[in-house]
Structure 1
Amino acid sequence: MESSKADVSIVVVPFPAQGHLNQLLHLSIMLSSHGLTVYYAAPRTHIHQARSRLQGWPASVTSTLHFHELPIPPYTSPAPNPNSSIFFPSHLQPLFEEFKHVRPHLASLLHSLSAASHRVVVISDFLVSFAATEAAALPNGEPYTFRCTPPSSALGWEGEDGPAGNIIKSFGLKTPSKEDCITEEFRAIVGRSKSMPESGLLINTCRLIEGDFLDLFMQQPDLIGKKLFAIGPLNPTVITETTGPRHPCLDWLDRQPPCSVLYISFGSNSSISDEQIEQLAIGLLNSDQRFVWVLREADRGDIIAEGEKDLQNKLPPDFIEKIEGKGTIIGDWAPQLEILAHKATAAFMSHCGWNSCIESISMGKPMLAWPMHSDQPWNAVLLSDYLKVGVIVRDWSRRKEILPAAEIEKAIKEVMVYNKGEEIKQRASELGEAVRQAVADGGTSNTELLAFINHITRS
């Protein structure tokens, strides 16, 4: 088997957005740890972005990976618009459009590896359809797609009629509207990813979380007969070492009582308006709860060229003075995994990007759901109404509204103070323990990962 591993080259191709870069870097590390040769292929800026934000692993963990730069033409990197009519990060669209021009450079890498390898396995993000096409054209190529979103979200988008809708309704779930989830321009990118020549799919989920949906997901016409490997969570589930200097917020957390702090972050690509920042701040003050709040501008297409924008001037007067000793504001990138793993952290108010969901689940922390775009409205329903490890702060039907401070305060207290919150915390803790067992030796996700490795290294 070891000789087979040496003869296989794996090329991982992420889509250039943080939640995608991150998940596929975690996967690359896991595959490399099993003695496989792994190339992480992306533009230089996004390799830096993925590596500089890696959390939860020893600093040396990327030393066995091959980082292959894919040249990309220059693109504009506009600032996000927090007052846009929809919350999808359309300011990243210029990057997304130019990304297709890396295709010939990826093809060149694949052809060179094809000549020197028994098999070239390409694991590409679902949104990078051209990578699967290039892999399928090789005489020894084997394409797999990686889904950064939960399979249940794809079923939810099919509508209420039909088998998927019936299953969803049987669990008492209501599918959120698809309206405003993505832009028309991004919808075209998603459309190009249908019916790819993939040998199978890898998904950052586990059967404990979505087992009721996975078989139905694979019954879609373009997936019938393909292999599915549910191998998540991919993020480390036991945080033992940081990859760099310790963030000051962790020292602050060390001084707080156990299970007393609310962590607030709306992800790398989401923005909220100045008026909503003010209402959230007031709601936090009135809730009288300890908190860590990541208040930063959403990522631009090039995070190296652009500095962080200070949003603290959008807070109410004297807010910083009033929260002294009870809350802390982070104006730059936050060590989310370490915050969620900290014993002082009680819950997570989140936009419900799948990366944040799966990290919070794996750390056993309940969520206060505030969905912004894409799969997030469905993820909020999955967490609150199916898994019952969270509450919805702002329902998707009210996405155009400024949520008032009183409602934010109520949602915070529901999880942090009231008896219902204790039940939610208990369920989240139990699910987190079960999910950590799934990725441990002999667990379902670990077994499926090993099955994938055995499959791609077969003779």
Structure 2
Amino acid sequence: MLMVPFTAQSHLNQALQLSFLISSNYQIEVHYAASSKHNRQVKHRLTGGGDRSSSDLLSKIHFHDLPMPHFLSPLPNPNSTSKFPAHLQSSFDATLHLRHPVATLLRQLSATARRLVVIHDTLMSFVVQDVADIPNAESYNFRCVSAFSSCCMNSHYKGESIPPLEECFVTDDILRLSAVQAEFLKIKQGDILNTSRQMESSYLDLDMAKNEHNVNNKQWAIAPLINRVRTINPTSGNECLLWLEKQPPKSVMYVSFGSTISMTDEQIEALALGLKESKQRFLWVLRDADKADIFTGEVRNLKLPNGFEESVKETGMVVRDWAPQMEILGHRSVGGFMSHCGWNSCLESLSLGVPIAAWPMHSDQPYNAVLITEILKVGIEVREWADKSEVVSSCTIKKAVERLMASDEGEEIRKRAEELGGVLRDATEEGGVSKMEMDSFIAHITR
């Protein structure tokens, strides 16, 4: 099996988690192909905490460093009118040059296998197109978004936005890159979706019915990927995990906005004051958005109000490095997650029973926030999407934190989130719907 991920961190990570699941639970040889920079990135972030189990899993995967042309790696622009990470576009566009290296790898691997199965990100459909010319190879599209957001975005582009969230949340450049993929989606023999029928059954059916690229294709919903092969150890010695050990159960709001969000200095200050004024415990991962190459060049210095960390040392902690999110969300002290609602973060939070304070920024995130707050009812919104261009005030942030962490409504939401987490985890056990769908996919490709 050959995994061909897109270059954004959340896509790289989801493809790697799927690689672990297949190589460990089904004893299939898995190859993972990306540029040397992106292979290094995804491995570094998995093992940054010295987790031995992750290192063991990585040793089972065959990594291939694809030659990728030089791409620019500017600092993100926190003052941009769009929160989409346009500064990564150079690296996104460079993926189109991976077609020929991938074709060479396809021929090499297919020569030594009865069947070569290629699993690729939707945004890498152009790159894997040569699979159609290899008799013993077949490809499957790995979709790293929710079925609900997929339905909504398809409707949006057809002029029937549901729900009616005005303005798209991406750039013309990424839309052009997406358009390049469309013709080659016809090659795939099915879709693997990082979601669960226990959570999105009706939207999976709707997506299958309305998406023109799904005609005569199969569909497997296999989430959540977490907890299937890697043991989560929420007391593994990391500094922030040691701090969580000292906090009461379900008392801490975890605050993190993923790898593509860059906030203005004004917004950072308002967030700091809102957290402080809420008088609730919090663990805040304060990082700027990733650059295209995370290992080189300068990084923006994110400033907090003078004396902030000292003033909240009894109730809050600020982390400025990459944090072990799964271990944090799995810790008994964490009772809420203020999130940008990237699908990876949503799945991790919900599968561990942690409710979400939704603060979406771009791409599929606004739709994920609607799914979380209005449909599943396992979270609250920090601010309305219509106000997305405005700085969210400290007062608004304070009220959102208090609402989720210190109110009867928040307690009810937390109970629903915990129930959903149990359902999602059960779905991956023997006899569970996600486990059966994964088994069905494996049976199909090994037929």
Spell out the pairing of 1:14-413 with structure 2 (5 A cutoff).
14-33=5-24, 34-54=26-46, 57-159=53-155, 174-177=163-166, 179-195=167-183, 196=185, 197-219=187-209, 220-236=211-227, 240-241=231-232, 246-306=237-297, 308-311=299-302, 314-413=303-402
Judge conservation of contact 1:254–1:344 (CA < 8 Å) in 2.
Answer: yes
Alignment partner of 2:119: what SS?
Answer: strand
Q: CA deviation at 1:84?
A: 0.5
CA distance in 1 between partners of 2:231 and 2:112 (Å)? 38
Q: CA deviation at 1:297?
A: 1.3
What does the per-residue CA deviation read over 1:154-187, in whole Å, with 9 as the maximum and x for residues that have no partner? 211244899987xx6xxxxx3422x241000000
For 1:240, give the aligned amino acid.
T
Give the aligned partner of residue 171 of structure 1. none
For 2:140, give the aligned amino acid.
Y
CA distance in 2 between partners of 1:415 and 1:191 (Å)? 40
For 1:201, give the aligned amino acid.
D
CA distance in 1 between partners of 2:212 and 2:370 (Å)? 26
Note the aligned Cα RMSD (angstroms): 2.0
Judge conservation of contact 1:58–1:243 (CA < 8 Å) in 2.
Answer: no
CA distance in 1 between partners of 2:281 and 2:385 (Å)? 27
CA distance in 2 between partners of 1:164 and 1:36 (Å)? 42
CA distance in 2 between partners of 1:188 and 1:263 (Å)? 35
Greater shift, 244-253 or 284-293, is seen at 244-253
| Structure 1 segments (4+ residues) deviating >6 Å | 160-165
For 2:119, give the aligned amino acid.
I
Q: CA deviation at 1:318?
A: 1.5
Percent sequence identity over aligned pairs: 45
TM-score by length of 1: 0.92
Q: CA deviation at 1:370?
A: 0.5
Judge conservation of contact 1:132–1:145 (CA < 8 Å) in 2.
Answer: no
Judge conservation of contact 2:123–2:178 (CA < 8 Å) in 1.
Answer: yes
Judge conservation of contact 1:23–1:235 (CA < 8 Å) in 2.
Answer: no
What does the per-residue CA deviation read over 1:77-101, in whole Å, with 9 as the maximum and x for residues that have no partner? 0000111000000000011111211
CA distance in 1 between partners of 2:101 and 2:208 (Å)? 32
CA distance in 2 between partners of 1:455 and 1:369 (Å)? 38
Q: Please, which runs of 5 or more residues in structure 2 have no aligned partner?
A: none
For 1:40, give the aligned amino acid.
Y
Closer/same/farther in 2, CA of residues 456 and 91 from structure 1, 3 Å limit: same
Closer/same/farther in 2, CA of residues 289 and 96 from structure 1, 3 Å limit: same
Alignment partner of 2:227: what SS?
Answer: coil
CA distance in 1 between partners of 2:242 and 2:126 (Å)? 45
Greater shift, 374-383 or 48-57, is seen at 48-57
Q: CA deviation at 1:244?
A: 12
Q: CA deviation at 1:224?
A: 1.9
CA distance in 2 between partners of 1:16 and 1:273 (Å)? 25
CA distance in 2 between partners of 1:64 and 1:54 (Å)? 14
Q: CA deviation at 1:59?
A: 2.9
Alignment partner of 2:306: what SS?
Answer: coil
CA distance in 1 between partners of 2:128 and 2:36 (Å)? 21
CA distance in 1 between partners of 2:165 and 2:404 (Å)? 23
Give the aligned partner of residue 447 of structure 1. 436
Q: CA deviation at 1:238?
A: 8.7
How many pairs align? 439
CA distance in 1 between partners of 2:256 and 2:60 (Å)? 32
Spell out the pairing of 1:427-446 with structure 2 (5 A cutoff).
427-446=416-435
